[in-house]
A and B are shown apart, each in its own frame.
Chain A
Amino acid sequence: MTMASLDPVAAVLLVPILSAALLAVLPGYRLTARLNVVASMLTFVSALSLFVIERPQPGPYVLVDDLNIVFIVLNTFVGFTTSIFSASYIAHELEAGRLTPVYLRFYHAMYQTMMFGMNLAFVSNNIGLMWVAVEIATLTTVLMVGIYRTHAALEAAWKYFILGSVGIAFALFGTILVYMAARPIVGEGQDGMIWTLLIQNAAAFDPALLNVAFIFLFLGYGTKVGLAPLHAWLPDAHAEGPTPISAVLSGLLLNVALYALLRFKILLAVNPHAIAPGPLMVTMGLVSLIFAAFMLYRRRDIKRLFAYSSIEHMGIIVFAFGMGGPLANFAGLLHMVMHSLTKSAIFYAVGHISQIKGTQRINRIRGLTVTHPALGWGFVVGVVAIAGLPPLGIFMSEFLIVSSTFARQPLLAVALVFGLLLAFGALTLRLTSVAFGEPRGSKASAEASYVPMLAHLALVLCAGTYLPAPLVVWFQHVARLLG
């Protein structure tokens, strides 16, 4: 841990991997859970310290710039809160006997490994390394999705695994192509993969190669982002895995893939002759949004419901980045952050709910606000937030996206609004049935801490009404960076 004080970047990477090794061997639930929390907190702290200390020079492997620091901090923060949530959640799972201590050890180790993978993906300055990191994160989540060993869980994991592998392959091919494009300019070997060098010379790259590369990268990482029609793994993985993992998947892993996409979008944007990635992203974003919105109506499993809502929001974000421009990019970033916070908060709530009620069937859950006021209203606020109602954060980003789009591309904005309204209808429909009406199901009080959920919601609420000026300046800078 001494390194953490020395070099935060190293800490961000080392703390998780070391604690993963430690957790793999340590027995006992209480200790490991606590250790998990502590490790995540340390990671978060060291990530925060990235703001204060002067940044390390971009090396061949590591890079810290304005873009990824946002992601890292968000990532480590949600990782931290989720570890708190997972402590109480896993305790219940142990009592319920759905997990054995062995798997628990495995779970914690995997958790930290995944955090490591994601952080690595963020800080890596090398597109090959980034690829590796994303795959590490993916494969660990695959293993965790299947951790319950139920038929359903294995199915989900398997599906995730196969589709993920294809995605991996695509991403790799794209990466190779980028290298090929870069080689004549930046020369052979390591340099051909170093992001900072690439971005400097991208203007001279061979556009035709870049185009093909982008398509493969888009599909490869897009599979992880969960863009329709590459989304198939996402709902089941969310629904069958342990809820903390669902939270992390929605809140973080999707962002990792998105981050990779953004990197390459910037790369392409630099090259004048390459295709504009915008239309592609806008199309896929809209398709995902509207498709997911329709799918929301027929969901019966509460976790699948919110998994689809994640697809929907990823669609919105990709749409925003596809539109580009300072406003839309700002909105996209904001939306991404807000969605991570909100969606993970919702999954915390859903986790407690499904544990209390002993089911994930929506129609078996009713009148939560009556039986569990705190949980129920928290859930209400979360869903209201994710549905894009003020005074919560997502409203602001949606406001910016829609209004800025309508002024530029009215038809696109209309389609976007259509999707938003559809999704809104579905979510509120479920909300009214779950949170209100005659209570149904168990009324047992949950012995769980709502702190993570409430913390997230508080942040979202605050962001919806007041964004601190430094953060705004930061975002605007990043937005300009995204072009």
Chain B
Amino acid sequence: MSSLVLQMSCVAGLLGIAVLAIVLSRAKTSTTIIYCATTAVSLVALFGSIRFLVGEAPNASGLVLPVGLPWLGAHFRLDALASFFLVVVNLGGASASLYGLGYGHHDPAPHRVLPFFPAFLAGMNLVVLADDAFSYLLCWEFMSLASWALVMAHHREPDNAKASYVYLVMASFGTLALLLAFGLLAGPTGDYGFAAIRAARHTPYVAALVLILMLLGAGSKAGLVPLHVWLPLAHPAAPSHVSALMSGVMTKVAIYGFIRVTFDLLGQPIWPASVVVLFLGGTTAVMGILYALMEKDLKRLLAYSTIENIGVIFAGLGLALAFQANGQKLAAALAFTAALFHVLNHSFFKSLLFFGAGAVLTATGERDMDKLGGLIHRMPFTSFVVLVGCVAISALPPFNGFVSEWLMFQAVLQSPELPQWALKIMVPAVGALLALAAALAAACFVKAFGVTFLGRPRSTAAEAAHEVDRYSLSAMFILAALCLLAGVLPGLVIDALAPITIDILGGRMPIQADEPWLSIAPIAESRSSYNGLLVMIFITVSASLSVFVIHRFASHALRRGPAWGCGFSDPTPAAQYSAESFAQPIRRVFGTLVFRARDHVDMPAPGDVRPARLRIELHDLVWEGVYLPIVGAVGFSSDRLNRLQFLTIRRYLSLVFATLVTLLLVLAIWS
């Protein structure tokens, strides 16, 4: 009980801070005060939830407040799953607040951020804690609303207006889908409590419908293709620490909702469900990272890579569904753990990377990678931590990204045990998609880091860049350290996740603490094992060994000279590879199919002095194929109907007359 009370009071504290922020919105010191307060509260909540999760046998505790639906009240509940996501939320919140302590001072309009930032945090906490449909949706929409206001913080750029609009409409779409789902679950009598829903038996028809609606609702918030369109618009538009929260944390809250309903409330899943989820997850992963590769705006690139990671997580959940549907608890636990682990990891490195992007933004005022470059010389610390983030998100050992990826593959390798043929074939194919996504992710982040931080500066702004303040740096360093920690000591995380799998799936992975040398073995060591710590030690040892040997026995003379470049000395930084040119090979390979990409080269005739031009044509097929038609249809029909605004009174009268006669006719025929 006490943990729940603690969490709730933290939420209350956050709301109080929001009010406080409104009160002293114009005060000079408000930024410092607010962010300090949010940091403190989030830390408290974070440690509370960690204690609950890893503490002795987390047992769920409930709480009913006399608000919300009158005859129901607002139910809140804290169980293992919720506490895990609380860890994610509050860790993101704490780091973002810490970052904001520095970053917030560069904000042109702090009074448009400060009130909503704590409210946003509170909203996310509440969604995770809510235990009845009404409170859940209320908090969910409250969260969307707060984040919308944050996206609107820099409302003077016209793009942001569009971004926030698309975001709000998509969010509302998602909420309505969830609303329908809950309506279906609650039934005509309307018992909206999760406990009641959990207890009720649901027919397969209902289960399938609910799953689809959840994929629409939670998927649109999490950014499943093709519902992802708002994400790359909205996330970059917000201030960077908010972008970090939206990408790193809010999408996770959506995933929490999906898990809560499909795994917890619906009870025993049916295997066809997993096919859908697997398919969506795989495609989302690959599509998302391909979008990211085509992108040259740093923050948009990060947002797209979020879509990719969401895809990976959903693939993991799909695997878990598949195994659970066939009662293979161990494999299900493995896949589920992999998914949750990836949730945690992604919240680490995506926040880190967005912080880095924010640092670049404050240092140079640029988000366009083609105007950046060479920052590694001017922002050494930032570039170092961002490098760590890039390595981690590219799923390279010994960092955390690799571990969850690895667990995911181990789960894929359990597919032979599945009885259904569809799944037998589907799972390895999804594994291939995941592998492809991972490789492309590495390529994408080579591009991101290489173009932004390496090479020569492409603009004066990049030349004049300077290192950012220590608060931002410390936030980033903490996250980087966490990336490494989770990478080298995965066993601890896996064991911490065990209570959740026991709660939700009724099974768990073997206790990793028993494995020798801190290595992890999902099934058995003979099958597969990995030891991040040793790998890191070996790499460092062998690297330092070679360094030592060479500097001991070989020359360490060193001379700086102009770049050789096969004799082509290109004076202008413009001759470097840019973001687009770096992506060119991959655009040639994948883009022609996925984006109908075309390179239009306008080569002047010999003797013509005008420069040659290369124009790249890309089509976002999802946007053009799904959303524009909808917009067009709405516009068309409203134009048609709008004529009714301009009729004459006689025509209006005839409308009335027609209605009357029709109704009378209906009556005459009917009764």
Contacts and interface: CB of A to CB of B under 8 A. Distances in A.
A and B touch in the complex (CB under 8 A): yes
A417 B173 CA distance: 9
A425 interface: yes
Given A215-B667, A399-B137, A407-B186, A432 B176 contact: no
Contact of B667 (A212, A405, A432): A212
A408 B187 CA distance: 8
Contacts of B638: 294-298
Interface string A435-468: 0111000000000000000000000000011110
A389 interface: yes
Contact of B634 (A219, A233, A297): A297
Nearest to A405: B183
B662 to A, nearest CB: 10
Contacts of A384: 145
Contacts of A320: none
Given A211-B671, A280-B663, A437-B158, A295 B649 contact: no
A429 interface: yes
A414 B213 CA distance: 12
Contacts of A424: 169, 172
B183 A170 contact: no
A41 B188 CA distance: 42
Interface stretch (A49-57, A159-167, A247-255, A336-344): A159-167
Given A212-B667, A298-B642, A421-B169, A407 B183 contact: yes
B121 interface: no
A391 B180 contact: no
A297 B631 CA distance: 11
Contacts of A295: 638, 641-642, 644-645
Contacts of A464: 138
A395 B138 CA distance: 8
Contacts of B182: 403
A432 B151 CA distance: 12
Nearest to A275: B671
Interface string A292-310: 0011111000000000000
Interface string B434-464: 0000000000000000000000000000000
B18 to A, nearest CB: 12
Chain A contact surface mostly: helix
B173 A421 contact: yes
B66 interface: yes
Contacts of A402: 176, 179-180, 183
A472 interface: yes
Contacts, number: 169
A403 B156 contact: no
Nearest to A218: B663
B164 interface: yes
A65 to B, nearest CB: 22
B67 A466 contact: yes
A6 interface: no
B187 A396 contact: no
Contacts of A219: 656, 659-660, 663
Chain B interface size range: 35 or more
Contacts of B564: none
Contacts of A417: 176, 179-180
Contacts of B173: 421
Interface stretch (B68-76, B367-375, B400-408): B68-76
B62 interface: no
Chain B contact surface mostly: helix
A435 B445 CA distance: 39
Given A163-B649, A163-B656, A408-B188, A390 B161 contact: no
Interface string A377-407: 0000000100101110001100110111111
A403 B133 contact: yes
A327 interface: yes
Contacts of B180: 402-403, 406, 413-414, 417
B204 interface: no
A389 B172 CA distance: 8
A228 to B, nearest CB: 8
A166 B667 CA distance: 21
B21 interface: no
Contacts of A391: 138, 142
A96 to B, nearest CB: 27
B656 A223 contact: yes
A401 to B, nearest CB: 10
Nearest to B192: A403
Contacts of A145: none
Nearest to A473: B70
Nearest to B70: A472
Contacts of B658: 229
A422 interface: yes
A420 interface: yes
Interface in B580-638: 634-635, 637-638
Contacts of A159: 649, 652
B664 A389 contact: no
Contacts of B183: 402-407, 413
Contacts of B56: none
Most buried by B among A162, A391, A400: A391
A391 B146 CA distance: 11
Given A215-B663, A294-B641, A402-B183, A438 B67 contact: no
B670 interface: yes
Nearest to A159: B649
B141 interface: yes
Nearest to B152: A436
A433 interface: yes
A208 B469 CA distance: 81
Nearest to B111: A373
B190 interface: yes
Contact of B184 (A162, A291, A407): A407
B60 to A, nearest CB: 25
Nearest to B149: A380
Contacts of A407: 183-184, 186-188, 190
Given A159-B649, A389-B145, A413-B180, A433 B190 contact: no
B155 interface: yes
A432 B152 contact: yes
B142 A390 contact: yes
Contact of B671 (A208, A230, A410, A414): A208
A428 interface: yes
A24 B137 CA distance: 51
A318 B555 CA distance: 88
Contacts of A163: 649, 652-653, 656
B608 to A, nearest CB: 42
Interface string A221-261: 00100000110110100000000000000000000000000
Given A211-B667, A232-B649, A395-B141, 18 more contacts: A219-B656, A280-B663, A291-B641, A294-B634, A294-B641, A294-B642, A387-B172, A389-B141, A389-B145, A399-B179, A403-B186, A406-B179, A407-B187, A407-B188, A413-B183, A428-B165, A428-B172, A436-B155
22 contacts: A163-B652, A208-B671, A212-B667, A215-B663, A229-B644, A230-B655, A275-B667, A325-B188, A389-B141, A395-B141, A402-B176, A402-B179, A404-B183, A406-B184, A421-B172, A422-B634, A425-B169, A425-B172, A428-B169, A436-B152, A464-B138, A466-B66
Interface of A: 158-159, 162-163, 166, 170, 207-208, 211-212, 215-216, 218-219, 223, 229-230, 232-233, 235, 275, 280, 291, 294-298, 325, 327, 367, 369, 384, 387, 389-391, 395-396, 399-400, 402-408, 410, 413-414, 417, 420-422, 424-425, 428-429, 432-433, 436-438, 464-467, 469, 472, 476
Interface of B: 66-71, 133-134, 137-138, 141-142, 145, 152, 155-156, 158, 161, 164-165, 168-169, 172-173, 176, 179-180, 182-184, 186-188, 190, 192, 634-635, 637-639, 641-642, 644-645, 647, 649, 652-653, 655-656, 658-660, 663-664, 667, 670-671
| 6 shortest interchain CB distances as A-B pairs | A403-B183, A406-B183, A436-B155, A472-B70, A232-B652, A297-B638
